[in-house]
Amino acid sequence: MTIGEFVRRLNQLFPLALQENYDNSGLLTGNPSAQISGVLISLDCTEEIVQEAIEKNCNVILSHHPIVFKGLKKLTGANYVERTVIKAIQNNIALVAFHTNVDNHPFGVNDKIAQLLELQHTRILQPVHQKLNKIVTYVPSGHLSKLDEAVFNAGGGKIGNYDQCRFAVSGEGTFRPTAGANPFVGTVGEREFTSEFRVEYLSPSHLSNAVLAAIQQAHPYEEVAYEIYPLLNQNPYQGAGKVGELKEALPLEEILNRIKTTFKAACIRHTKPVGRPIKTIALCGGSGSFLIQDAIRSGADLYLTSDVKYHEFFDTENKLVIADIGHYESEQFTIQLFGEVLKENFSNFAVHLTEINTNPINYF
């Protein structure tokens, strides 16, 4: 398998369209045409990780955090970012990062954390907005099934745990073929009246071009009439963070001990108890202080995240407990997530999980 094909198929699993606008996910360095000898998975990409890839005969490093995050104006080896990129290029190792598109995926980083905490009835904490389109077209009677099949195969017509969804209503369409037309029905120069279905499909915005192409390919008409409506709806199946419930309410000390053990956290920074047991937990791997108010609105008793600033701990106003376990600690299981996904979907190359702890923070 080539590196380009690998990134393309990984994009189908974790669409790059889900990444935040500040992010830099995807193929960062490397020749898309090169064949893959092996993939090394890590949370971060450092010089040590590149050396590990060399020793394990891996010419691709898949990391969660992109080493090239801000613009690089020089490659002189003046800092660890430049040195890491130079070493990767010199050794023909491609660097691939899938970051916030995995954070925002319904089965991404936060879902993995929720599984580790054994949370039930999980839902997205902050759903994405304006990521859905409604695509409408008009098809003659007898051709609806073929159109359905094409759209569904292209990824349209999915709503949560349901697929093959669409709405259709019958009506009368009219048109007049002009000179040069090759009409499916009707005669050039004469107005035609025909029985048609108005058909509506829901589509994620990043798949709308593929869905439209499928419609045009499957449609019998020479000229396909269609409309695309951007929707203001939330997409409750994609977005930042998650919230769910424990099987039973637990005292704060017990759940903090469980979290500390599960995530191998050297310490947990947390706000004071709220005077009730912990049942509902909101969470966000990585820097999650932007979701504090969403966690409060969700009715959570505890919010698990990292990188919370001093003054942000005051923002809870004793409505829930913030538990900050550290950035690396909260996202370390992304490595396992990537490993499971690659082993399930790719059999063309060896997959290795890094043996290096890249956490830059030490505790005394």
Q: Which segments of the chain have a pLDDT < 50?
A: none
Q: Cβ neighbours of residue 199 under 8 Å, at least 6 residues apart? A: 136, 137, 138, 139, 144, 147, 166, 167, 168
Count of CB atoms situated within 10 Å of the CB of 165: 14
pLDDT digits (tens, 9 = 90+) for 157-209: 998 889 999 999 999 999 999 999 999 999 999 999 999 999 999 999 989 99
**Tell me, what's the pLDDT at 295?**
98
> Which tokens is 230 given?
């951007």
- CB-based burial of residue 29 (10 Å sphere; 0-12 exposed, 13-18 middle, 19+ buried)? middle
Question: Distance between the two ends of the chain, CA-based, in angstroms?
Answer: 45
**Neighbouring C-alpha atoms within 13 Å toward the C-beta of 78:** 5
pLDDT of residue 130: 79
Question: What's the pLDDT at 168?
Answer: 97
CB distance 197 to 141 below 8 Å = yes
Q: What pTM, to 2 d.p., does this model score?
A: 0.88
Q: So what's the pLDDT on residue 226? A: 96
pLDDT value at residue 69: 92
Query: What pLDDT does 123 receive?
Result: 96
State the Cα angle at 299 between 294 and 302, rounded to 5°. 85
In sequence order, what are the residues at sequence separation of 6 or more whose Cβ sits closer than 8 angstroms to the Cβ of residue 57? 37, 38, 350
| pLDDT confidence of residue 353 | 98
How far apart, in whole angstroms, are the C-alpha atoms of residue 126 and residue 242? 8
